[in-house]
Structure 1
Amino acid sequence: MRTARIERNTAETKIEVEVNLDGTGKYDVSTGIGFLDHMVEQFSRHSLIDVTMKIDGDLHVDQHHTTEDSALALGQALAQAMGDKAGIGRYGTAYSPMDETLARVALDISGRPYLVWKAGFSQEKLGEWDTELIEHWFHSVSQTAGITLHIELIYGTNNHHICEAIYKGFARAMRTGVELDQRKGGAIPSTKGQLGG
């Protein structure tokens, strides 16, 4: 079983995250930020990665610490569950349409974190969530998961649709990237014999 559990406790947030890469998309998410909950749930459902995420954060200050730390902990859990990444597909690409919106997500579970973000929002909040934090969420998850991640909004006008299309595209790309490829026979998908560095 490719599973992991992370506890991350600081003066700003207390977090428990569990993942199962070989799950069915079951989730139990409570961050204190409704729209963030919705997006992590979308990630779980469409990646088929089971996710439990419980956060008690300093939302009386603002949403930054909770948003950032949720992504850092999720990325840590994903990296831990993948272990040495033997046999994984490694790469994933998804086009994600949602009504008038189309997003493209491409990733490489390379061990070399990098984010290219070509998207944006025309309003400051989705629900109560500050939209400026969405790019930062993806930056943080890419850092601790060790993912080279390219996200592009091809077109779209509805901010809810834009955000959801991006998260669903990320989910579908991760599903492809973490799935085990039987043809690889458990080999690490790199001519170097390791991923990262």
Structure 2
Amino acid sequence: MKLSRKTFETQVELEFEPYGKGQYDIQTPIPFFTHMLEQFAKHGRFNLTLTVTGDDPHHIIEDVGILLGKAFNDSLPDKTGIERFADSLIPMDETLVQIAIDLSGRSYLAFNATFPTTITSGFETEWCLEFMTAFLQNAKMALHITTLAGKNTHHMLEAIFKGTAITLRRALMITSDSLPSTKGVL
């Protein structure tokens, strides 16, 4: 799936495949964000090509979240056979993060994350919330993120991005031939 988004603040070009091999080519003007998206693609086994230009980190991060969420949702039009629900506990050294996802077609975020610092590697921790909000609203899913332990903000953010990807991969597993809903629609 190829998508693009152009605003007065950003230009985003994206190519996304949810059932990929974790291949990526990601270029953003925010090195730590690029690193997080690489982790997301690798651990979710999503193929992701992304080129971003822009004048403000907040706008860049939000617009990437919007477009990636839209690509994710649009690439799964039917959802027949997917597992739908998944959760993960992700350790990274001293850090422990819990992620739970429901690919319900309804957007909801519970972000229970606290960090020891507000900035790591030039990345403001509030940008994680901005990205996840934009992503899940456009992916149309419920996402719960809880930091259970951690002393290193870098590790905590990385565990959130890796954990979200791993949990998405698990929710996308094809485990039946029916739609996982009594309503008949997701």
Q: So what's the TM-score if we normalise by structure 1?
A: 0.91
Q: What is the distance in 2 between the residues matched to 1:188 and 1:8?
A: 31
3-state SS in 2 of match to 1:82 = coil
AA at the equivalent of 2:126: E
The answer to whether structure 1 residue 99 and structure 2 residue 93 are counterparts is yes
AA at the equivalent of 1:9: K
Q: What is the distance in 2 between the residues matched to 1:68 and 1:193?
A: 32
Give the alignment partner of residue 161 of structure 1, picking from 155, 164, 167: 155
Q: What is the distance in 1 between the residues matched to 2:78 and 2:8?
A: 32
Match of 1:77 in 2: 71
Give the alignment partner of residue 117 of structure 1, picking from 111, 122, 147: 111
Give the alignment partner of residue 16 of structure 2, picking from 4, 19, 23: 19
Give the alignment partner of residue 42 of structure 1, picking from 17, 39, 43: 39
AA at the equivalent of 1:190: S
Give the alignment partner of residue 165 of structure 2, picking from 171, 174, 194: 171
3-state SS in 1 of match to 2:138 = helix
8 A Cα contact 1:94 1:172, kept in partner: yes
The answer to whether structure 1 residue 29 and structure 2 residue 29 are counterparts is no
3-state SS in 2 of match to 1:17 = strand
AA at the equivalent of 1:31: T
8 A Cα contact 1:43 1:168, kept in partner: yes
8 A Cα contact 1:78 1:145, kept in partner: yes
Match of 1:90 in 2: 84
Give the alignment partner of residue 52 of structure 2, picking from 31, 49, 55: 55
8 A Cα contact 1:63 1:130, kept in partner: no
Identity %: 40
3-state SS in 2 of match to 1:165 = helix
Unpaired runs of 5+ residues, structure 1, are none
Residue by residue, what CA displacement relative to the aligned partner does 1:80-99 show, whole Å, maximum 9, x if unpaired?
11112122111111110000
3-state SS in 2 of match to 1:179 = coil
3-state SS in 1 of match to 2:174 = coil
Aligned CA RMSD, in angstroms, stands at 1.0
Q: What is the distance in 1 between the residues matched to 2:82 and 2:16?
A: 16
Q: Which runs of 4+ in 1 moved over 3 A?
A: none
Deviation at 1:122, TM superposition (A): 2.4
Q: What is the distance in 1 between the residues matched to 2:114 and 2:133?
A: 14
Size of the aligned set, in residue pairs, is: 186
Deviation at 1:124, TM superposition (A): 2.6
Q: What is the distance in 2 between the residues matched to 1:29 and 1:57?
A: 14
AA at the equivalent of 2:109: L
